[in-house]
A and B are shown apart, each in its own frame.
Chain A
Amino acid sequence: MKKLGFMFVMLTIFLFVLAGCVGVNNSDTEEPESNEESADVNVEGETITWMTNDSSRPGWEDLEQQILDETGVEIDVVVTPTNPDDMVARMTTILSSGDTEVDIMHINDELITAFSRAGYLEPLENDVMTDDVMSNFAEQYMEDIPTYEGSIYSVPSYLEILAFWVNNELLSEAGMEAPTNKEEFLAYAHAVTDGDVYGYGGAWERSYVFNEIGTFINLFGGDYFDWENPKTQEALEFMYDLAHEEGVTPPSQLADIYDPMIQKFIDNKYGMLFMYTGAIPTFDEADSYGPDKLDIAPMPTFETNDAYMASWHHVINASSEKKPAAKKVLEYLASPEGQVAYYEMSGRLPARLDVLNDPEFSAPGLESVKEYIENSTLRGRPLVPQSMEFVSGIGSIFQQYISDDLTLEQTVEQAQAEIDRLAE
């Protein structure tokens, strides 16, 4: 009897705890506030809180000063955890609890997909990201990532392209030009592969491989959300063959994230790979970047030459009590001047295409990026609200396929089930 009583009390406490967990963001239950409140309100002298990891950069104080000069708004900073899991936990707690402490957040593609759908963010299409402003960003990307149900939720802060990189030293040793199609891709990979040097290098750790799977699916004209699509399967088989039949990429890279992959590329162990344009400073610092060293080449055309674009976004907390001031700041950050100011602080290329195409603007790697903008379709990555679970779930299935633990049919079946479960 005593034990029964004890269990009853424990159960009651457990239920109370669970009940306490079912909190929701205030914004879910309240009517959304007006979306047109920034321009006419005097926000001079207001201080907003900005959650970002940029504040440790040397140029941050200059950016703060520029924002103050242009908008009259002062910035207070809360540092974001850089570890993805911690960042998600921290930001989700703030947004879901309706916390008003943070006004602007700097978040990645994965989080904007999740937060915009959860109703945690302030829509910006009526005053910040108006049609005029929107027309200056990569159209397909803007449709894929910051837009949800007709509303736009962010100002992209910079542009990165998951580009095709080649080792020009190995290319000239092989007497070849940068591959432009699938046949040349394989021919170059075979020409370079020798001992511990491989024609193609990747980062096939279960989270990181997401980008490469998607890139190959794009190149073959498949659809990431449809694994029964023959072209999607062709891309998968191609990746499998690179590691097994062709033997031009090491299966051991199943453990690699970007750091070891980049180091191997610098050490001339890889002939080519897909990597973000943001790696330019890293290769440059290692004295390995340039037309006769490691360089960006145009995306080869298999069926298509589509490439992924990625960005981090400035968004406004839907529960913020200082929305007009926050919008004023985002208006500035979305403007050409604001984009250049952010570039000067971070060294990352602006997301606005008119800024990139401005003859006055120059930056390392700009010409290669412009080539991509002109000749490839820049897509947002295929993400779902529970993006981290989605990314690593598909990555795990892919790893089992490469490790011969699953057949192609089983891989397709399991990946499709995962997509159907999470993309609903």
Chain B
Amino acid sequence: MSAKQKRILTFIFRWSLTLGVAMIILIPLYWVFISSITPRGELFSTPINFFPENFTFQNYVDLFVELDVATMAWNTLIITVCSLLLTIILGTAAAYAFARFELFQSVSWAFRLLLFSALIPPVITARPLYDFMKSFDLVDTYAGLIILYTSLLLPFSVLILYNFVKQIPASLEEAAQIDGANFGTILFKIYFPLMKPAIATVSIINFIQSLNEFFTPLFFTYKIKLLSVGITTVPRESNFEVPWDLISAMGWFIILPIILFVLFFEKNIMEGITQGGVKQ
């Protein structure tokens, strides 16, 4: 086999694989979108229509008029933004401490425990956590949700930020100390600017995770409506029929900002993760 033939074969193999993987991911998304613009009566018609004969955007209108997704989106935004800010502040401080004081055994253990906490399935902690939150009157409150979201986002954020802090030479900090800088100045004026790429990455990933988070709002809210749970409260006409058209529209309403985010910030996400993984 000549070199040219090899190149062509490699090219075909790569692209087949790429297209195959892309199809596996994109076809369900396409199907959800098509279902969202298909009138209910046509959803299960046979033979299958890969594009509806009479498409409609009524389901998207219903989302705003009947399901009040605007309120859900607003609540989701408030909780997500507050959690992100808190996560970044706490995460950076924690990452700094874990990276700079890891010679102390207790600090190193605390870091391991934090990472371990992320491995516990939420369903195991749900019930005791519910009792705990209830005892502080934090169930179905913005404050309660922000605390829960922050605790959910912190372990991964600290891990990424920790790897980043470790790459920053300690000599910078020492030089600042010699010049009389206190801890706050060092953290906010030296580390924060240097960690911007990592903070951007963590923010983007956490934003996506917050939008996707389903378990926490499902268990810890009554009346505060969030987007991710909204999909499970889409009303049914009867007990045995699922309004797939409306659910699909809701699905797209949730997915779209995530897709846009990833499209716009893909480079930052990848850079942040890979940079954090490189050792000095």
- What is the interface of chain A, defined by CB distance below 8 A to chain B? 6, 9-10, 13, 17-18, 20-21, 23, 49, 53, 56-57, 78-83, 86, 89-90, 93, 96-97, 99, 101-102, 108, 160, 196, 257-260, 262-264, 267, 269, 276, 278-279, 281-282, 285-286, 310, 312
Docked pose: A260 CA to B66 CA in angstroms: 26
Q: A82-B233, A82-B236, A260-B44 are in contact. Are A17 and B120 (CB under 8 A)?
A: yes
Q: Which of these, A9, A89, A282, contacts B237 with CB under 8 Å? A: A282
Q: Decide yes or no: A13 and B116 within 8 Å by CB, A81-B229, A83-B232 being known contacts.
A: yes
Chain B: which residue is nearest A158 at the CB level?
A: B239
Q: Work out how many contacts link A and B, with CB atoms closer than 8 A.
A: 107
List chain B residues, Cβ under 8 A from A82.
232-236
A78 and B223 in contact (CB under 8 A), knowing A53-B235, A97-B127, A259-B244?
yes
Task: Flag if A90 contacts B218 (CB, 8 Å).
Answer: yes
Does B241 reach chain A (CB closer than 8 Å)? yes
Q: Per-residue CB proximity of B31-51 to A under 8 Å, as 1/0? A: 000000000010111100000
Inside 8 A of A21's CB, which chain B residues have their CB?
Answer: 124, 127-128
Q: Is B126 an interface residue (CB 8 A)?
A: yes
Return chain B residues, CB-CB under 8 Å to A259: 43-44, 241-242, 244
Q: Contacts of A23 on B, CB cut-off 8 Å?
A: 127-128, 131
Taking A89-B218, A267-B46 as known contacts, 16 extra A-B pairs with beta carbons closer than 8 A to each other, sorted by chain A number, are A10-B116, A13-B113, A17-B120, A20-B125, A53-B233, A56-B66, A79-B225, A82-B236, A96-B127, A101-B222, A259-B241, A259-B242, A260-B44, A263-B43, A267-B45, A278-B239
Cβ of B219 under 8 Å from chain A: yes
- Check A258/B241 contact, CB under 8 A, given A93-B126, A286-B41: yes
Given A101-B222, A312-B239: A263 and B127 interface contact (C-beta under 8 Å): no
Nearest-CB residue, chain B, relative to A21? B127
Q: Once the chains are docked, how many angstroms separate the CA of A405 from the CA of B134? A: 49
Query: Secondary structure of the B side of the interface?
Result: loop
Please name all residues of chain B whose beta carbon is closer than 8 Å to the beta carbon of A80 when the two chains form the complex: 233
Q: Is the CB of B235 within 8 A of A56?
A: yes
Known: A17-B120, A281-B238. A269 touches B46 (CB 8 A): yes
A71 vs chain B, min Cβ distance (A)? 22
Does B136 sit at the interface, judged by CB under 8 A? Answer: no
Q: Are A90 and B219 in contact (CB under 8 A)?
A: yes
A6 touching B127 in the complex, CB below 8 Å, given contacts A259-B244, A276-B238: no
The residues of B that contact A83 with a CB separation of less than 8 Å are: 232
Asked whether any CB of chain A lies closer than 8 Å to the CB of B188, the reply is no
Cα–Cα distance between A97 and B129 once the two chains are bound (Å): 11
Q: How far is the CA of A36 from the CA of B67 in the complex (A)?
A: 39
A263 and B229 form a contact (CB under 8 A): no
Asked if B130 CB lies within 8 Å of chain A CBs, one says yes
Cα of A312 to Cα of B232 in the assembled complex, Å: 18
B240 CB within 8 Å of chain A = yes
In whole angstroms, what is the CA distance A278 to B238 when docked?
7
CA–CA, A81 and B66, complex, Å: 16
CB of B44 within 8 A of CB of A99, answer no
The smallest C-beta distance from A311 to any residue of chain B, in angstroms, reads 10
B128 adjacent to A99 (CB under 8 Å) = no
Give the residues in chain A near B55, CB-CB below 8 Å: none
| A-side contacts of B44, CB under 8 Å | 259-260, 262-264
B232 touching A86 by the CB < 8 A rule?
A: yes
B125 & A17 in contact (Cβ 8 Å cutoff): yes
Chain B residue nearest to A275 in the complex (CB): B240
Q: Do B241 and A57 touch (CB < 8 A)?
A: no
A18–B125 alpha-carbon span in the complex (Å) = 8
10 smallest A-B Cβ distances: which pairs?
Answer: A20-B128, A263-B44, A56-B235, A81-B232, A258-B240, A83-B232, A78-B222, A86-B232, A278-B238, A79-B233
